[in-house]
Structure formats: C-alpha cells, structure tokens
Amino acid sequence: MTAPTKPPHSHPADAGADAPLAQPLQETVIDWFDENARDLPWRRPEAGPWGVMVSEFMLQQTPVNRVLPVYEQWLARWPRPADLAKEAPGEAVRAWGRLGYPRRALRLHGAAVAIAERHGGDVPTDHAQLLALPGIGEYTAAAVASFAYGQRHPVLDTNVRRVFARAVTGVQYPPNATTAAERKLARTLLPDDERTAARWAAASMELGALVCTAKNESCHRCPIAAQCAWRLAGKPEHDGPPRRGQTYAGTDRQVRGKLLAVLREAHLPVPQAALDRVWHEPVQRARALDGLVADGLVEPLPGGMYRLPLT
C-alpha cells in the first residue's frame, strides 16, 4: 500500500444524499493519515508499481512485520517483473519463506511472466489489464491501480471494510465475504478526484490497521470517533454469522508448511523418507503432500523424490 502525494480534498462523485457524511469522513481521515502514516518501503516513490504489486500479494492475510524482511529480499533479488519471470516458479516458493499461503508466490510468479510477455515488462496501468493478469482479483487490481498509479477505484480490504462497517453502517464487523452493499457504500464514499481517491483508499486502510482494529480498537485515538455510528450506538456486539478463525496448530496448513520448509532448504530433490520425518501422522502427512502437488507447489519425481517446481 503506497501513500499518494497529498491532493486537495474533493467531494465524492457518487455520494448523492450521503455527501454530507462522506466529505467530513474523507477530510478527517486523510488529514489523520498525513500525520500518522507509517513509513513503509512500498509507499516510497522508488518502490514503483512492481514494488506495490509485490507488497499487495505479500500482505494478504499476513502482518506487515512479517512481510518487511521478505519484501526487501524479494525486491533486491527481482527488482523488475522480468527478473522473476526468468526464474523457475519453485524459486519464488523458496524465497517466499514462511509468509504462509505459498500459492501466492506461484501467482505472483505467474503475474510476472504475463507482465514480461504481454506488457514489455512493465506493470500495466489499466485496471482491466491488471485484472486479466493471472492470480490477480478485484482487490489487488484496484489496489495496484490506486496505490501505484493514483487512480480512482474503491479498494476494499479487511481493514477498510471494518472501518466502513463501524463508522457508517454501525456494526462491529463486516460480513465474512464482501457484499454488493459494501461495494456500493465504497463507491458512495469515494472522492471524485483521482489523487484524493487514491489517498482516501490508503488512509482508510491505515486507520483500520492501526486504530480501528479487529480487537482492542483504540476509539480514543480515532479521528472520526465522534461520527462513528457503531460507537454512537453503544458499540453493540456482533450478531451476524460467526467470524472465521485462524487456527493453525495441527491443521493440514501446518503440515504443508513443514513439508515445504524441507524442500525450500534443499537444492536437490528430496526423498520421501526425509518428508516423512516432519509429521507423525501418516494419513494427514500424505494428504498434505498430495495437496501441495495438486496446487503446483511441489513436483513429484520418479523414485519417490520431490522438489520445488521448475516449470
């Protein structure tokens, strides 16, 4: 997530009857962001569009403090998409380290290959072209277009959705999956000036990351606490569907991580016996390994050997 240069504030294009609500929110949150934004490498001008794209892949479901060292190493090794595209996909998985959800590494590699082949090695500026890249969905396309190129797109990650749910809708948490109503609200709150819209996207995301957090929210530090519908309603408890947990210990995800750790450390094919040692339960271990193969993260070889994928 980058921090676009500070523009003049503007009115939302689609606000309609909600314009009196939208403009004060925009101005207050952007002013707060100007004073409180973190200095992150992907927000600096030298990061460029590729640095923004890499950060967006890495930050999905992963906190900033875990991403920072891997991001720095990644950009030092592959400063342009074409540099990554020349490597085997398994090298992307290896460099991903312990960030988790390693399929993101394969998707980022696939996007780099497509950028090199279709766009002359430059991250495309057009939202539709970004969306057409492999592994890129609506959120990532909007985020890259907004944060890298200063364009006007609603950028709805978990943090933004939580801020909007509380400040405008008056509920503690947004739905588990993004809804049409949330997208409509995001468009309503979006300033019409492109640079202001890009800064609003970054600012509302930062507010959710630092202040309007999922747990232990800091309402006393929130610049829009006086306008927050959820706080004004007495902060009612969430009464929707149960929120998805993030359990890890003992899951197939943990086993997959242990298997991949062995393969990342090895630069030659690994025998089945070496993988068998990482987890005591053979059925779960086999299921996890089969899943890694099916996902393209591990390549089986004759003779019971395995390696990270070369193609």
With tokens 């394969």, the residue in question is 106
Token pair, residue 113, equals: 């290959």
Q: How far apart are alpha carbons 254 and 241 in whole angstroms? A: 26
Cα dist from 148 to 66, 79, 137, 176, 267, whole Å: 22, 15, 16, 28, 35
φ and ψ at 271, to 5 degrees? -75, 155
How many residues would you count in the chain? 311
Q: Which residues are part of the catalytic machinery?
A: 56
Q: What is the Cα 81 distance to its own chain's centre?
A: 18
CB atoms within 10 A of CB 27: 16
Q: At what angle do helices 89-96 and 103-118 cross, to 10 degrees?
A: 130
